[in-house]
């Protein structure tokens, strides 16, 4: 998330008057961006990660662990001049606001140099320092910035510190107070506008884990509140039997994740990288699974993705193709004169990507038209809804910067309405500004994001970022070691793609990636499921098969495995033969070992570890419920693990003998660099 615009955000009833204005000008901005930056070439492989933290306040006496919602001022301290800002800068850390008042995000201030092996080894140190700086800014030893994907007791009783009540008008949630939402007006407005456009509160139903004494229904739903008209929605059918019912944006946007952005040398390589990463998104969602608990219940799934997807789902009933909860409300609150143009939209604006961009290659031979190396149109086999006008305009762009797959990509993003418009920013200079484009782009939250440069990013202006691609599916892990392992893995394999666009062919029909995305949600999908994957990633064909996670990562009879690709790349590009005995690079060896062991099932995923902790806890009553003490002890344990402490042998349980021995012996010391 970039800097927050200041100003007056428009409520939905006003905002919807400008939807077309934003789209039209956002498109003009996009075309200008392409005109400026299309011919950039030889940009460096720079990259960076984003880590999101949840501020957990422990109370040892009462044995509670709540989310803290009054320390958000630290973000200002860390971003405005002063001691904390200096400390962040000194440690190359940059702190960003997030949806939750109890959340912070941190990135490296300067991106890493992907051509420098030292920088891959620096990632974890930088992550470590971000925690140190955050803890210093918090200045309260009871409050910890934990890297957990979901806070287990979100929406259960008094779960905030200080206390707050679920009676706010922005979300109108039965469970989540508006006080958990970032104070900046953008966020409550976003929350309210999604609800208003949809015409109902969001309704997320997550399958409840069925244990011996699990109740048939979510027992936490207050049935007779009568504070807002929406309070009756669960009894009108919004809450499904056998499911955990979540009714507010905060349940999803209050989750933390791990993202990686890399810069490609030019637009065509960025497109190829995007396509090559496409199927890794579900694979790495499954492998990083870390969210088995929502609203105090064990879920019958392991990840956050569909929770966030539902949490920002602003589609009206008619767009979703379902009956409205209240008769006559099928159009939600879209504009009267837009009702004629409504189309069916199968997916939320937070979802997996819908199409490949195509691996366009420009030939060196004269008069040779650009062509695709591996991509073919039939791989884009799910026909997402598109904005026809946008498609036409882009295809007719006189500079011919948009071929069919690229134009279709943007035409799909442009089916959405802008959700928050600032009154002061309605009229812009399309030669310079990008807000309108970003408004649409940054509220299409997909597994990957193709990030075009701004109008200032002309080929000679290297100080402005170029064509970037973002990998967005991963769940945040408990330790910096794991977060560094997964980020560097994604960056390294991304670099292998960039270096071998003629060799590595990961294309399978996009509909199969959709299926993988569903599989990745399942409980222990790492162990139990087979994912669709290209059979031979080194051939020109398209034959795919079904593979276990172990085969995909570690290789098997018919597949070399992703780790082998990364190792080969390290050898070819950095001349490194990775072994545990190489003192300089052994940490990278252990990163791969972690990923390998998670994939083979030798050590548990974070979700599996959390779930077993709960089900084995003496207070657990086989009813799928997590109480205060289980929550407290779980988060204490997570806090200890994040410090590589091995009380009760828990580091060994989590990482296994080999990795925990290594980690205990090779801790990154938490101090200022
Ligand atoms: P967003 O939330 O929109 O994804 P952030 O600013 O939070 O954006 O994160 C962007 C990431 O991209 C950071 O890790 C940052 O270090 C990295 N980054 C910055 N500049 C570049 C660049 N030129 N190329 C690649 N990555 C970059
Ligand atoms: Mg960010
Ligand atoms: Mg973020
Ligand atoms: Mg991001």
Q: List, for residues 105-131, the tens digit of each pLDDT value.
A: 999 999 999 999 999 999 999 999 999
CB 660 within 8 A of CB 593: no
Q: What is the CB neighbour count within 10 angstroms for residue 331?
A: 17
263 lines ligand 1 (CB under 6 A): yes
In whole angstroms, what is the distance from residue 30 CA to residue 299 CA?
41
Average pLDDT for residues 404-415, to the nearest whole number? 98
| pLDDT computed for residue 671 by the predictor | 57
Residue whose CA is at the smallest distance from ligand 1 atom 7:
1
48 lines ligand 1 (CB under 6 A): yes
92 lines ligand 1 (CB under 6 A): no
Average pLDDT for residues 230-239, to the nearest whole number? 97
Local confidence band at 1 (pLDDT 50, 70, 90 cut-offs): very low
**Cα of 94 from ligand 2 centre, angstroms:** 10
Give kind and range of the element (H or E) at residue 49: strand 46-59
In whole angstroms, what is the distance from residue 609 CA to residue 220 CA?
25
Local confidence band at 3 (pLDDT 50, 70, 90 cut-offs): very low
| pLDDT computed for residue 4 by the predictor | 64
Please count the residues of the chain.
Answer: 673
CB 175 within 8 A of CB 166: yes
| pLDDT computed for residue 101 by the predictor | 98
50 lines ligand 1 (CB under 6 A): yes
The number of the ligand 1 atom at minimal distance from the alpha carbon of 472 is 4
Average pLDDT for residues 614-638, to the nearest whole number? 98
> Cα separations (Å) of 434 from 5, 27, 426, 441?
12, 10, 12, 10
Among 91, 107, 473, the mutation site with the greatest number of ligand 1 atoms within 8 A of its Cβ is 107
Which ligand is in closest contact with the Cα of 100?
3
Among the ranges given (2-16, 55-69, 428-442, 545-559), the one the predictor scored with the smallest mean pLDDT: 2-16
CB 416 within 8 A of CB 15: no
Least Cα distance to 362 among 271, 237, 443, 268 occurs for 268
In whole angstroms, what is the distance from residue 76 CA to residue 85 CA?
9
465 lines ligand 1 (CB under 6 A): yes
Average pLDDT for residues 57-64, to the nearest whole number? 98
| pLDDT computed for residue 557 by the predictor | 86
**Cα of 168 from ligand 1 centre, angstroms:** 33
Q: What is the CB neighbour count within 10 angstroms for residue 577?
A: 10
> Cα separations (Å) of 181 from 70, 177, 248?
11, 8, 11
Local confidence band at 293 (pLDDT 50, 70, 90 cut-offs): very high
Q: What is the dihedral angle through the alpha carbons of 143, 312, 419, 455, rounded to the nearest 10 degrees?
A: 80
CB 71 within 8 A of CB 81: no
**Cα of 89 from ligand 2 centre, angstroms:** 17
47 lines ligand 1 (CB under 6 A): yes
Residues whose CB falls within 8 Å of the CB of residue 100, separated by 6 or more in sequence, listed in order: 54, 67, 180, 181, 182, 250, 253, 254
Average pLDDT for residues 518-536, to the nearest whole number? 97
Residue whose CA is at the smallest distance from ligand 1 atom 15:
48
**Cα of 403 from ligand 3 centre, angstroms:** 31
Tokens describing residue 410: 């943007």
Going by the DSSP 8-state scheme, the letter that residue 100 receives in this structure is B
pLDDT of 9 over the 50 cut: yes
Q: Round the CA-based radius of gyration of the chain to a whole number and report it.
A: 24
**Cα of 105 from ligand 4 centre, angstroms:** 10
pLDDT of 667 over the 90 cut: no
Residue with tokens 């000679």: 460
In whole angstroms, what is the distance from residue 161 CA to residue 151 CA?
13
Angle in degrees, 0-180, between the axes of helices 510-521 and 280-287, rounded to the nearest 10? 10
The number of the ligand 1 atom at minimal distance from the alpha carbon of 465 is 23
**Cα of 88 from ligand 1 centre, angstroms:** 16
CB 536 within 8 A of CB 548: no
Tokens describing residue 579: 């072994």
Q: What is the CB neighbour count within 10 angstroms for residue 499?
A: 16
**Cα of 635 from ligand 1 centre, angstroms:** 30
Strand partners, 298: 293
Tokens describing residue 255: 């989750």
Residue 637 has φ and ψ, to the nearest 5°, of -65, -45
In whole angstroms, what is the distance from residue 249 CA to residue 419 CA?
13
171 lines ligand 1 (CB under 6 A): no
The number of the ligand 1 atom at minimal distance from the alpha carbon of 111 is 16
Tokens describing residue 283: 């694979």
What DSSP assignment string belongs to 92-121? TEEEE--SBTTEEEEEESS-EETT-HHHHH
**Cα of 407 from ligand 4 centre, angstroms:** 23
Going by the DSSP 8-state scheme, the letter that residue 337 receives in this structure is G
Q: List, for residues 472-516, the tens digit of each pLDDT value.
A: 999 999 999 999 999 999 999 999 999 999 999 999 999 999 999
Least Cα distance to 30 among 484, 391, 297, 500 occurs for 391
Q: What is the CB neighbour count within 10 angstroms for residue 658?
A: 15
In whole angstroms, what is the distance from residue 488 CA to residue 280 CA?
14
Among 52, 111, 453, 476, the mutation site with the greatest number of ligand 1 atoms within 8 A of its Cβ is 111
Which ligand is in closest contact with the Cα of 92?
1
Q: What is the dihedral angle through the alpha carbons of 254, 246, 304, 605, rounded to the nearest 10 degrees?
A: 110
């Amino acid at each position: 998330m970039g800097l927050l615009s200041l100003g007056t955000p428009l409520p939905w009833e006003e905002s919807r008057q400008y939807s077309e204005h934003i789209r039209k000008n956002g498109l003009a901005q996009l075309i200008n961006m392409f005109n400026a930056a299309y011919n950039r070439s030889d940009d460096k492989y720079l990259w960076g990660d984003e880590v999101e933290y949840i501020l957990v306040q422990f109370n040892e006496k009462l044995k509670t662990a709540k989310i803290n919602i009054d320390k958000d001022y630290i973000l200002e301290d860390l971003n405005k001049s002063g001691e904390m800002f200096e400390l962040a800068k000194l440690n190359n850390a940059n702190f960003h606001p997030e949806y939750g008042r109890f959340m912070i995000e941190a990135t490296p201030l300067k991106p890493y140099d992907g051509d420098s092996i030292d920088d891959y080894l620096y990632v974890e140190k930088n992550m470590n320092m971000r925690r140190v700086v955050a803890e210093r800014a918090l200045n309260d030893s009871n409050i910890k910035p934990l890297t957990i994907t979901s806070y287990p007791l979100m929406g259960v009783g008094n779960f905030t510190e200080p206390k707050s009540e679920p009676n706010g008008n922005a979300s109108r949630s039965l469970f989540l107070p508006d006080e958990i939402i970032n104070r900046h007006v953008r966020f409550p407005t976003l929350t309210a506008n999604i609800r208003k456009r949809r015409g109902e509160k969001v309704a997320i139903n997550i399958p409840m884990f069925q244990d011996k004494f699990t109740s048939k229904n979510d027992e936490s739903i207050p049935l007779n509140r009568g504070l807002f008209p929406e309070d009756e929605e669960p009894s009108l059918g919004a809450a499904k039997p056998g499911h955990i019912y979540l009714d507010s944006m905060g349940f999803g946007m209050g989750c933390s994740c791990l993202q990686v952005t890399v810069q490609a040398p030019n637009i065509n390589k960025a497109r190829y990288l995007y396509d090559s990463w496409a199927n890794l998104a579900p694979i790495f969602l499954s492998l990083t699974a870390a969210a088995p608990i929502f609203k105090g219940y064990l879920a019958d799934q392991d990840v956050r993705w569909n929770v966030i997807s539902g949490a920002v789902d602003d589609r009206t009933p008619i767009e979703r193709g379902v009956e409205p909860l209240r008769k006559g409300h099928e159009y939600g609150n879209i504009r009267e004169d837009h009702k004629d143009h409504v189309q069916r939209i199968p997916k939320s604006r937070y979802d997996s990507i819908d199409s490949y961009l195509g691996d366009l290659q420009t030939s060196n031979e004269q008069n040779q038209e650009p062509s695709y190396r591996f991509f073919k149109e039939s791989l884009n086999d799910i026909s997402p809804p598109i904005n026809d006008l946008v498609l036409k305009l882009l295809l007719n762009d006189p500079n011919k910067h948009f071929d069919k797959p690229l134009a279709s990509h943007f035409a799909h993003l442009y089916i959405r309405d802008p959700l928050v418009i600032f009154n002061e920013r309605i009229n812009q200079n399309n030669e310079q500004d990008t807000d309108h484009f970003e408004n649409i782009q940054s509220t299409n939250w997909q597994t990957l994001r193709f990030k075009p440069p701004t109008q200032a990013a002309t080929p000679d202006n290297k100080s402005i970022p170029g064509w970037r691609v973002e990998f967005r599916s991963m769940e945040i892990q408990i330790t910096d070691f794991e977060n560094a392992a997964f980020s560097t893995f994604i960056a390294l394999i991304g670099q292998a793609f960039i270096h071998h666009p003629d060799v590595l062919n990961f294309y399978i029909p996009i509909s199969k990636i959709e299926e993988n995305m569903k599989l990745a949600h399942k409980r222990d999908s790492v162990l139990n499921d087979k994912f669709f994957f290209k059979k031979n990633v080194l051939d020109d064909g398209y034959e795919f098969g079904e593979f276990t996670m172990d085969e995909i990562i570690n290789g098997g009879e018919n597949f070399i495995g992703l780790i082998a690709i990364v190792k080969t790349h390290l050898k070819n590009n950095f001349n490194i033969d990775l072994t545990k005995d190489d003192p300089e690079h052994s940490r990278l060896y252990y990163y791969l070992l972690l990923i390998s062991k998670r994939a083979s099932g030798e050590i548990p995923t974070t979700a599996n570890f959390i779930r077993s902790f709960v089900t084995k806890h003496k207070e657990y009553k086989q009813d799928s419920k997590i109480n205060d003490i289980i929550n407290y002890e779980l988060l204490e344990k997570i806090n200890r693990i994040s410090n590589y402490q091995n009380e009760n042998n828990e580091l060994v349980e989590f990482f296994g003998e080999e990795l925990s021995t290594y980690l205990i012996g090779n801790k990154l010391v938490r101090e200022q660099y």
